[in-house]
Amino acid sequence: MDLSKLLRKPPAEDYQQVDTFWFPEEREDYEYSDENEDDTSLLIGQHIILEAGQVSLNYYCTECEDLRTFNSDKEQGLRGIIVNKQVISIDCILQCNCGSVVHTWYLVEAEEDIRYQSPKVRILHFREKLTERVKLQSEKYGEFSEWLEKANRAHRDGLGSGAIIYLRKVYESITYSIANANNIPLYRGNGSRRSFSDILKEVDEQHSIIPVSFSANRYKLFSQLSEIIHGDGSEEDALEYFGALYTLVTSVLDNVTQKEELKSAAQKFNWSTNNVSTN
């Protein structure tokens, strides 16, 4: 496969075989052989043209108000800088059709030598700089969109626990928000704060904010988020489980939104909205 296909994926520990991709910009006649294996010092810092295809990543474009595919320039190709015989640094500008851009940077490592035919490589690091017209996701979750955006950024920067902190904050906040809107007390009569478990149980029993598919495990989601944050899980675990936890947390937001929309639609016909209201 082309190197560009690998660059569309999240960093991973395993090496994957890709098509030969490197071509020195100022040494068009260069060919790798055992005889020049030790000339790495001549290559360090050299700019090279990569025959690697086109990089494409999805982002939310605020100009287009939609999720769009941002692409690298196909004609210009990709360019990199040799760090050593195993590592190459790749800078790549991705662009939406409307002109919005994202600056990305990759550090790619070969298992042996980047000059080999069909080398095995992996992404060591990936960073992206979003311009003001680009986000990782839409604003569909209102006040919670910013926290979800930060969670995604932290995850993409390899900060597993940091990403999970934002997810737990979203889960807590939507629960407290609905509790406050429906006069469900957050404090006991003596002034001490009620446990989140008790508040979540009451909120869910009255307003069914948790999707039916995992309502029996509503507190386990919070517990899982907390265990990772408090160090009971590794950073590797946090990064691995982020996608699943993100899906579960946003499914709660989707469920609440859907119920609000159903309530609004039903009210137009003066239909009963029992078990539909969330506020």
| 202-230 per-position pLDDT tens digit | 999 998 899 988 888 888 888 988 888 88
- Is the per-residue pLDDT at 247 higher than 90? yes
Confidence of residue 277 (pLDDT cuts 50, 70, 90): very low
In 3D space, the residue among 158, 157, 152, 8 whose CA is nearest the CA of residue 69 turns out to be: 8
DSSP string, 140-193: TTGGGHHHHHHHHHHHHTT-HHHHHHHHHHHHHHHHHHHHHHTT--SB-TTSPB
Confidence of residue 125 (pLDDT cuts 50, 70, 90): confident
The larger pLDDT score, comparing residue 2 to residue 270, is at 2
pLDDT at 38: 55
Q: Which residue has the tokens 């003066």?
A: 270
54 CB-near residues (< 8 Å, 6+ apart): 4, 71, 72, 74
259 CB-near residues (< 8 Å, 6+ apart): 207, 208, 209, 276, 277, 278
Phi, psi of 194 (to 5 degrees): -70, 155
| 98-107 per-position pLDDT tens digit | 999 999 999 9
pLDDT at 170: 94
| 128-169 per-position pLDDT tens digit | 888 888 988 777 788 888 899 889 888 888 888 999 999 999
- Is the per-residue pLDDT at 185 higher than 70? yes
Least confident interval from 19-28, 43-52, 165-174, 176-185: 19-28
pTM of the model: 0.65
- Is the per-residue pLDDT at 29 higher than 50? no
In 3D space, the residue among 105, 96, 53 whose CA is nearest the CA of residue 71 turns out to be: 96
Distance CA 47, CA 44 (A): 9
Mean pLDDT along residues 275-279: 50
Phi, psi of 50 (to 5 degrees): -105, 125
